[in-house]
Amino acid sequence: MPVSGPTYAIGELAQQFDVTTRTIRFYEQEGLLSPERRGKTRVYRDKDRVRLKLALRGKRLGFSLIEIREVLDLYDDRNHGSVRQLERMLEILADKRANLERQLEDIRAMQRELDQVEARCQSALGELKASERS
């Protein structure tokens, strides 16, 4: 079946998304991408490009491969998504949001601790410099 619309070689997608071709092949092995094959050449369609973009975004946000697959399946079936799929997606999003909130609070606590350590270091440095001048 001929491919219609824009197509991409694996190297083009790798360059576009600043990933290795091995990363793209990994997502293909995991069933997240399904390029057409022409001999030994992979031909990626726009749908594959969007799926790769979503997969990489999911990875950055800490989604597991299973969760990424669920998101992609929902993307594919967005006009036919079942109540169960949409409810599952809302669960995943709520879990991720809660996790991000916890991480954000941890980061804020770490920043406060770093500020305290920095203030102590600045104070100690000031005292040392003052004593050297005396």
What are the tokens at 104?
A: 């954000």
The structure's pTM equals 0.65
CATH number 1.10.3720.10 is the correct assignment for the domain at 1-63: no
Q: What is the pLDDT along the chain (134 residues), one digit of tens a residue?
A: 555 789 999 999 999 999 999 999 999 999 999 999 999 899 999 999 999 999 999 899 888 999 898 888 877 666 556 777 778 778 888 988 998 899 999 999 999 999 999 999 999 999 999 999 87
Residue closest to 52 by CA, chosen among 39, 36, 38, 71 = 71
Q: Are 12 and 48 in contact (CB under 8 A)?
A: no
What are the tokens at 74?
A: 């929902």
The pLDDT assigned to 13 comes to 97
Taking the CA atoms of the chain, what radius of gyration do you get in angstroms?
24
Domain boundaries, the chain: 1-63, 82-134
CA 121/CA 71 separation, integer angstroms: 47
In sequence order, which residues have a C-beta less than 8 Å from that of residue 73 and are 6 or more positions away? 85
The pLDDT assigned to 48 comes to 93
Kindly list the distances between the CA atom of residue 99 and the CA atoms of 14, 61, 62, 105, 129, in Å, as whole numbers in the listed order: 29, 10, 9, 10, 44
